[in-house]
Amino acid sequence: MPLILYTEDDAILQAEGDMFLADAGYEVMTASTGAEACALLREHGPRVSALITDINLSDGPDGWRVAEVGREIRGSLPVLYVSASDGDAFRARGVRNSIWSPKPFEWPRLLRTVSHMLAH
């Protein structure tokens, strides 16, 4: 079962994501801060199949840094950034071969994106 790390500082969105990802058959780890996400990546990085991260996290490293840590640990880690802003910054700051999705988003569409990322 693929393991997804979902980093989101909005508790409602985090709970919703955890539910949708688990219902889709993924094992899910969640983090509320960039520091927590980086710690989880350092501990479980080789097992993490994909990273979904908000960019603007309320505390500690931002999503850009979380993705960089993930790629330092696992160079081919699929990364999906989700954010209500920063679409323009994605081209300059996003890790190579990653995807950006604007908020708000629909979970069925996002799940298709995750499935596609994991298939390649």
Give the tens place of pLDDT for each residue, 11-42.
999 999 999 999 999 999 999 999 999 999 99
Q: Report pLDDT digits (tens) over 77-118.
A: 999 999 887 667 887 788 888 988 888 888 999 999 999 999
Report the pLDDT value the prediction gives residue 103, as an integer from 0 to 100. Answer: 83
Which range marks the domain in which residue 60 is found? 3-119
CATH number, domain containing residue 20: 3.40.50.2300
Measured CA to CA, the distance from residue 15 to residue 42 in angstroms comes to 23
Q: Report pLDDT digits (tens) over 42-79.
A: 999 899 999 999 999 987 899 999 999 999 999 999 99
**pTM given for the model:** 0.93
Q: Report helix angle 34-44 to 63-73, nearest 10.
A: 10
